[in-house]
Structure formats: C-alpha cells, structure tokens
Amino acid sequence: MKQYKVNTLGCFLARIYSVLFWDEFHYPQPIKGRYDVTGSLKEKLKWVYKIWIKQLEVAEKGSGIEAYFAAQDLRFSPPEGFEREAALSLSAGGDLMAVDVLTEANTPNLFDDIRDFYFGADITCANLESTVYTAAPLGRNSIPNMPAKMNTSEGMLDRFLAGGAGIDYFSTANNHSYDYGEAGLLATLDILEQKGCWFSGTNRTPEQQEDVLIVEKNGIKTAFLAYTFDMNGNQYEKKHLINEVRFNDETVDISLVRRHIQRAKEKGADLIVASCHWGWEFEMYPHKNIMEVAHLLAEEGVDVILGGHPHVAQPMERYTAKGDGRQCLIIYSLGDFVSYHPLTPNSKLTYVVRFQVEKGTLRGTGHTCITQLEVLPVYIAAGEKADGTCDFRLLQFEKVLMSPGHYALTEGERRDLPRLDQALLRGIILPRGWEHR
C-alpha cells in the first residue's frame, strides 16, 4: 500500500464535519442545482469520509429505494410467440483505472479466474477510466486539493486486450477523459484505433460526436453509446471532444442522447447499449434522480445501461418501458474492476455480467429482446507481497468466500468476507433470493 496515500488531515476534518452535519455525511442527499464536488470544502470532506472512513450503505431517506431493489425480478425471457433467428452474448465489467500497483509486472494473472465467464461472450465491454498517453507520467498523479489525474500504459491496455481474446469495446467517456487535455484525449483515441478496438464517448470532430458506433456480429447490430456526467471541474472549449451529459445535475439535458438514439435507429441498430458514467462515489445505492434519468433513457429507446463511477457496485433493475413494453436492463454501477482502493472495503466486491440478446420475429414483426442475464460476483485482490510487489487478481467471490485461506488476503480482508457477502452482495446488490448464476 506504499503507493496509495491517505490524507490524514482530511480524515480528521471529515470526522468533525460528519458530526456537525450528520445527515449530510451519513445519508445520500438529493442534488440541488449543478453538481460540483471540487468547489466546496464540505463536498470534498464528504468524499474523504466516504472513501476512507465509511462508505454509505443506505439510500436517500424516505425514498423507498432499498425495498424497490430488494424486490426486483431480474429474470429475462422472450415474449410468448417469439421466433428466434439470431443470438448474441455480451459481457461487461466496470471501471479500468490501471494506476498505482496496477502495472504489467503485477498483473500477469489478472483475469485468469474470471476469463471464461468474462471473455467468453461474443462482445466484451468495460470503461477505460484513464488516458493512455506516453507524454504524461504513468499512474495516479495528484495535485493538492484537486482530483488526481489518471494515466495508464500501453502495456496495461494490451493486458486488457489479451491478444485479441479480451475486451472488445471501451467506453471512453468519464471524469478522467480530459485529465491531460485535448492532447491526452486524442492520443488515447489514436492508440485504441491502432489496436483495432471499438470505442465511443470521446471524439475528434463534431461530425464524429453526432455519429454512432454500430457493431454487427452474429447478424445483430448493436449501437454503443457512452456519456459522462462531469469532467472533474475541467473546462474545455471544444464540446465535441467529450459526450458530457450532466446526469448528476438537478436538471438534465439529454438532447445529445436523443440524437444518438435517432442516429442508431437510422443505422439499423437492433440493440442500443449506453455506458453512463454517473452517480456519487462510494455510495451503494443510486440517487433517485439517477434512477429517474435511467428510466427516461429506457423510454427514449436505450435497451441496456452500463453504469459506472461510484467505485462500488450498485443494484440492477429490469425495467419495462411504458411506451413499447421492452424489457430493459439497467445496471446502476458495475463498480471498480481493474482499480486499486485498498482502504475502501466495499470497493473490493464487484461483479461482471453476461447477457444474451436474441433477434427474430414476434407475430410477424421484427423483434429483439434480452433473454438471459448472468452475474458473476468478483473479489478484487491486490495480493501484496513482502517485497512490495503484488499479484493482482480478479477472483470469483464465491471461491474466495468458501476458501479464503487459498488466497493472498490479509487477516482483515478474510474477516470482512462474510460482511461483504451478507450485507452487500445479498443485502444490497442482488434482489432478495435471486440466484445469480
């Protein structure tokens, strides 16, 4: 943990503020006006409190959100009378923030334990939450009183690609897209193109921003959209560079999303997937306003939402669109994935999903639907060694829970496993009584 620094003064002040402003620090708060976590001392101390002292495991007071997710039914099946003509499987993991100890040397076995499940889909997705920029220093680069800048290596990108057998699609829209300005953003697009990756969320030109990525596989056309709620306070004149849709604000303008949905339909998309970087960090439930905008996107035509940013996993929802009855999959946060928050216990439990999409006819009309959802809970293990190196791995959580002694965990990590299982996985992330595999 030598490479991961804690702000001790910040923690001291955060504890004081958490007593003075009890509800604001212990319960999610409805947003008022424009989201801004960088311009207020209180907001900064809330972030410190949630990352290093106590992650929030409750929803907004009086919202009914906990009961809503506990009662979810995540079973997807084709409607009666549906005749299948083609099928496609997709998998998705959360945020790739390969900094700190997440180097090539420390990750030779990174995906070994989840490879079959995660890489076994026809299309594998994740959010690339850093630049890949050779002109900037690698890692988590901090500036006092400002959000850290994230930059990873080409070698770690190759680790994600796994020689062509790994991640296929990257969302590039997130709050770290502009950490190194336009040059870093464009350099990241350059290398993704050189590697033959599919990506969306950041763009070179206004024309590119107005277009939509369509991937055709197994006879099914999937549109991949991507958006971020903020740029960590970074200002930029060329608005086409980043698909910024301010989901966290009290009032949200989704006109860009609407244009993208229309463009996707014009290009013949059978399925529309939107990666949405949104929400509040280290909170286990989405805010009410995030749920409202998620439902709005589904009503507009998005079939699958892959949420990220909170650095903890949040629940999922099977939402029935009121307009046309489509069964939509909304994942509010896939959580951390390839990311290092060793002093934030709830960040160590994440999950990856795999779902099947089928295309065919329903009563003589073309129809596409989600027909199956699988969830694999994952434990993020740093595997720290005495010499300061790591054997960082993504492990199947159930295996770790059953045989913790087989893995390089600290005593504290072993003791925390039952809490992660009961309070988080079964108590918050998954619906009551739902079998995830």
- Residue pLDDT, tens place only, 364-414: 999 999 999 999 999 999 988 888 889 999 999 999 999 999 999 999 999
Q: What angle do CA 209, 249, 240 make, to 5 degrees?
A: 15
Structure tokens at 43: 């907001």
User: Can you give the C-alpha Rg of the chain in angstroms?
Assistant: 21
H-state helical runs in 177-327: 181-194, 206-210, 255-266, 288-300
Which pLDDT belongs to residue 233? 85
Q: Pick the residue with more confidence: 43 or 167?
A: 167
Instruction: Give the pLDDT of residue 147.
Output: 87
Which value, to the nearest 10 degrees, does the dihedral of the CA atoms of residues 37, 40, 43, 48 take? 100
pLDDT at 202 over 80: yes
Task: Report the distance separating Cα 13 and Cα 46, nearest Å.
Answer: 10
- Decide: helix, strand or coil at residue 143: strand
Summarised one tens digit per residue, pLDDT across range 244-299 is 999 999 999 999 999 999 999 999 999 999 999 999 999 999 999 999 999 999 99
Q: Is the pLDDT assigned to residue 2 strictly greater than 60?
A: no
Q: How far apart are CA 265 and CA 53, in angstroms?
A: 46
**Rounded-to-integer distance, Cα 360 and Cα 123, Å:** 19
Q: Give me the pLDDT at residue 144, please.
A: 75
pLDDT at 437: 56
More confident residue, 5 or 401: 401
**How far is residue 157's CA from residue 366's CA, in Å, rounded to a whole number?**
38
The answer to whether 182 and 241 have CB atoms below 8 angstroms apart is yes
Question: Model confidence over 416-436: pLDDT tens digits?
Answer: 999 999 999 999 999 998 876
Place of tokens 């009410």: 288
pLDDT digits over 256-268, tens only?
999 999 999 999 9
pLDDT value for 310:
98
State how far Cα 400 lies from the chain centre: 23
Give 371's strand partners: none
Candidates 128, 134, 194; CA nearest to 167 is 128
Alpha helix ranges (H) inside 195-267: 206-210, 255-266
Query: What pLDDT sits at residue 4?
Result: 63
Does pLDDT of 49 surpass 90? yes
Q: What is the mean pLDDT of residues 198-206?
A: 98
Percent of the chain with pLDDT over 70: 98
CB burial string 255-283: b at 16+ within 10 A, e below: ebbeebbebbeeeebbbbbbbbbbbbbbb
pLDDT in tens, 97-111: 999 899 999 999 999
How far apart CA 170 and CA 125 sit, in angstroms, is 6
Average pLDDT over residues 200-208: 98
235: its two tokens = 């200002």
CA atoms within 13 A on the CB side of 96: 28
Half-sphere CA count of 200, side-chain side, radius 13 A: 22
